[in-house]
A and B are shown apart, each in its own frame.
Chain A
Amino acid sequence: MFWNAVILALREIRRNVLRSFLTILGIVIGVAAVIVMVTLGDGATAQVTQQIASLGSNLLMVTPGKRMGPGQNVGAAPFTVEDAESLRRDIPQLAAVAPMASKSMSAIYGNANWSTQIAGSSNSYFEVRNWKTRTGRLFSDSELRSGAAICVIGGTVRSKLFGNQDPIGANIRLQNISCQVVGLLESKGQSTMGSDQDDVIIIPLRTFQRRIAGNQDVNIIQVSVRDGVSTARIQQDIERLLRERRHLSASDENNFNVMDMKEITAMLTSTTKIMTALLSAVGAVSLLVGGIGIMNIMLVSVTERTREIGIRLAIGAFEREVLMQFLVEAAVLSSFGGLVGITLALLSSVLLASLLKVPFIFNAPIVAVAFLFSGAVGLVFGYFPARKAAQLDPIEALRYE
C-alpha cells in the first residue's frame, strides 16, 4: 500500500514537473538557507578556534573589569606596569608577561595616511604571540627603558604607508611624535572575526604611556605559561596575586578577568552563533511558508483530481488508502524539495566558504535534520488536503465537472 502510494506520487510529480518544482521552491530555499547558514557558521567558528589555537594554548589574557571581554573596564581600575612586574617575579611558571596599552589613531608617512591600532608593549609581547620580525629588529632594553620614539610595524601598515618600499629606518608620524621604524613583522594574515592582525604598530610601552596616552595605565596583560604547566593552576595563582595587589577583601568579586583560550574562543564565537541562529530562524520561517505553499497546491490538486478520486473510491479504495496516496505525494514532493535544497546548499556553501575564506565543514546532522524536517513539513501540511480527498463522496466526486 505504501509503495503503491510512492509510485503513484512519483508518477504524478513527473506529469507536472514545472508545477511540482514551483511548489517545492519554498522548501528548497528554506532548507538551503538553514544549511548554508549553519555550515558557514561552523566554518567561521572553526576558523576562530583554529586561529586562537595558533596563538598557543598556553596563552592567558588578563583584563581589568568585571566578567566582560577585554577593553571593557566596567568601573575597574586599569593595571600598572608594577602589576605585570610582580606577576613575572612571583609566578615562575610564566614564560613571558606582556603588559600592554593601545589606541587607534592615524599614522602618517609622506602623503600616506593610515588609521591603525597603536600598541605600547615590551619584547615579551612578541614572545607571547610567537611573532617574529621579517626584517629589522625588536626593541633594545635601553630603548624600552628610556621610551625611545621607535616602532615595529605589521605588514598591512607597511603596504599602506610604504607600498613596496623598505620601511626600515623611515620616520612615521604618530600624533605629535616622529617615530622611527626599526622592524617589520611577519605576516599573520586575516584573523579572528575578520580583523587584520597585521594592521598594527607597536612601540615601547613607556613611549606609549608618556607621549600618547599621558598616563601609566596598562589595559591588558598577556602572559604565556611554560610548557607542561596547567593553565588552570596558573589562572588561580594570577587571580590570587592580583586580588592582593588590588586590595580586594574576601567578599569582593574579582574586578579583573583571567581568560584562557577556551573562554576567549567562546567570547569571540558568540557573535557568530547569534548570527547563525538568526539566519537559521529566517530559514525556518521560509520552511513554514514552503509548507503552506505545498498545502495550497495540494488543495488545488485535490480539487482538480476530484474525478480521479471518485473513480478510486468507487472502485473500492478505502478512505485511508486515498489519504495515504495524497499524504505520500505531499511528503515525496517536500522531501524532494529537501534534497534539491541540500544539493543547492552544499554547492553554494563550498562557493561562499571559499569567497569568505572560511573552511567548508560538512555538518551531517544538520543535513539529515533538514531532510527529515522537509519530509515532515509535507506530512503536516499535506494532511488537511489529503483528508479532504479521502472524505469525498464517491458519487459527488464522479459527478464533478
Chain B
Amino acid sequence: MAETTETDHVPLINLRSVTKTYGRGTAAMQALRGVDIAIEAGEFIAVMGPSGSGKSTCMNILGCLDTPTSGNYLFKGVEVGALSRDQRALLRRQYLGFVFQGFNLLNRTTALENVELPLMYRGDPLRTRHQLARTALDAVGLTGWEGHTPGELSGGQQQRVAIARAIVTRPALLFADEPTGSLDSSRSREIMEILTTLNREQGITIVMVTHEADMARYASRTIHFRDGLVVPEHETDHKGGH
C-alpha cells in the first residue's frame, strides 16, 4: 500500500467542506460545520477533541456508515455520498474495519463467532473463517479464549476481540472510536502496542479517536476537533508533524 501513495496523488481519504446536521427546523443540530481532512495510506491518525465536538460523527462518515449533509467524501477517489446503502456496505466489507465506542460485540456469542462475522458476510467458507479468525485472535493475544462469550471476558479482552473482528478481513483502513476508553493504563498500553504493530507491520491505516494525550502519542499525526470544526495545525502548539 505504501508504494501506491508514492505514485498516486489521490489520498486514501479526502473530506472536503463536509457538514452534518442532525434533525431539522428549530431542532436542527450542526455536528460538523465544514471539515476538510486528507489521510494518506499508511498513516496512524489520532483524533482528539472535547466531548460533543463531532469526532464520532466524523468517524461515521469516514467509515461510510453515514453520509455528509453537504460537502464531499472521496474514498480512494470515489464519491461516497453518491453510493447506495448496499454499495457502502460492500465498501465497508472490503476495505474497512471498525472498533466501535463500547466494543459492540454480539452477546452470548463466542469470541470466535464474533470474529468470524465479517468473514461470513464476505462469503468465506467455514474452514477459512475458522482459520482466519483464530489467526486474528492470536494476533491480539487471545489464543485459548476462542470459545468464551463476551460475558466471560474482561473489558480488555472484549476490546481485543473487537480489534480481532476489525482486522480479520485485513482491511486497508481501521477505525477505532476510543478503543481504550474503558481500560486502565496498562491494558490501554497493550491495545496501543497491538494497533502500532498492525500499522507498522501490516501497513493498515488507522484512524483512532481518543481523549488521552498519552494514547495520541502512539499516532503519527493528531487531528483536533472543536465545535464541529478541525482546529488548524499551527494553532495546536506541540502536537502533530511527521
Chain A interface: which of B114-122, B131-139, B183-191? B114-122
Q: Which residue of A lies closest to B122 (CB)?
A: A316
Shortest beta-carbon distance from A301 to chain B in Å = 14
Chain A residues within 8 Å of B90, by CB: 316, 318
Quick one: which of A1, A316, A319, A398 contacts B92, CB cutoff 8 A?
A316
Known: A318-B89, A398-B104. A312 touches B65 (CB 8 A): no
Interface of A is mostly: helix
Alpha-carbon separation in the docked complex, A308 to B109 (Å):
11
Verify if B16 is at the interface (C-beta below 8 Å from A).
no
Chain B residues within 8 Å of A395, by CB: 60, 65-66
Chain A residues within 8 Å of B60, by CB: 395
| Cβ A319 vs Cβ B100 within 8 A | no
In this complex, the interface size class of chain A, counting residues with CB under 8 Å from chain B, is: 20 to 34
Q: Which of A295-322 contact B (CB under 8 A)?
A: 307-308, 310-321
| Cβ B65 vs Cβ A316 within 8 A | no
Verify if A4 is at the interface (C-beta below 8 Å from B).
yes
Chain A residues within 8 Å of B86, by CB: 318-320
Chain B residues within 8 Å of A308, by CB: 106-107
Chain A residues within 8 Å of B65, by CB: 314, 394-395
Alpha-carbon separation in the docked complex, A314 to B98 (Å):
8
Chain B residues within 8 Å of A318, by CB: 86, 89-90, 121
Give the A-B contact count at a CB cut-off of 8 A: 54
| Cβ B104 vs Cβ A311 within 8 A | yes
Chain B residues within 8 Å of A233, by CB: none
Quick one: which of A307, A321, A394 contacts B121, CB cutoff 8 A?
A321
Verify if B85 is at the interface (C-beta below 8 Å from A).
yes
Alpha-carbon separation in the docked complex, A48 to B65 (Å):
69
Chain A residues within 8 Å of B105, by CB: 311
| Cβ A313 vs Cβ B104 within 8 A | no
Verify if B108 is at the interface (C-beta below 8 Å from A).
yes
Q: Which residue of A lies closest to B107 (CB)?
A: A308
Alpha-carbon separation in the docked complex, A321 to B120 (Å):
11
Alpha-carbon separation in the docked complex, A225 to B191 (Å):
99
Alpha-carbon separation in the docked complex, A315 to B89 (Å):
8
Shortest beta-carbon distance from A17 to chain B in Å = 13
Verify if B93 is at the interface (C-beta below 8 Å from A).
yes
Alpha-carbon separation in the docked complex, A72 to B6 (Å):
103
Q: Which of A1-32 contact B (CB under 8 A)?
A: 1, 4, 15
| Cβ B117 vs Cβ A315 within 8 A | yes
Alpha-carbon separation in the docked complex, A320 to B120 (Å):
14
Q: Which of A306-342 contact B (CB under 8 A)?
A: 307-308, 310-321
Known: A318-B86, A319-B86. A398 touches B121 (CB 8 A): no
Binary per-residue interface labels of chain B (90-101) against chain A in the complex, 1 for a CB within 8 Å, 0 otherwise: 101110101010
| Cβ B85 vs Cβ A314 within 8 A | no
| Cβ B122 vs Cβ A311 within 8 A | no
| Cβ B98 vs Cβ A315 within 8 A | yes
Alpha-carbon separation in the docked complex, A310 to B101 (Å):
13
Alpha-carbon separation in the docked complex, A320 to B96 (Å):
20
Name the residue among B93, B100, B121 with the largest chain A CB count within 10 angstroms. Answer: B121
Alpha-carbon separation in the docked complex, A111 to B89 (Å):
92
Shortest beta-carbon distance from A394 to chain B in Å = 5
Alpha-carbon separation in the docked complex, A395 to B98 (Å):
13
Shortest beta-carbon distance from A316 to chain B in Å = 3
Chain A residues within 8 Å of B104, by CB: 307, 310-311, 314, 398
Chain A residues within 8 Å of B118, by CB: 315-316
Can you list 17 A-B pairs with a CB-CB distance of less than 8 A?
A310-B104, A311-B100, A311-B105, A311-B117, A312-B117, A314-B65, A315-B121, A315-B165, A316-B90, A316-B92, A316-B93, A316-B96, A316-B118, A316-B121, A316-B122, A318-B89, A319-B86
Q: Which residues of B contact A (CB under 8 A)?
A: 60, 63, 65-66, 85-86, 89-90, 92-94, 96, 98, 100, 104-108, 117-118, 120-123, 165
A311-B106, A314-B92, A314-B104 known; 14 new pairs, CB 8 Å cut-off, are A308-B106, A312-B117, A313-B89, A315-B98, A315-B117, A315-B118, A316-B90, A316-B96, A318-B89, A321-B121, A395-B60, A395-B65, A395-B66, A398-B104
Ranked 10 nearest A-B pairs via Cβ = A316-B93, A316-B92, A315-B118, A316-B89, A317-B121, A318-B86, A316-B121, A311-B104, A394-B65, A318-B89
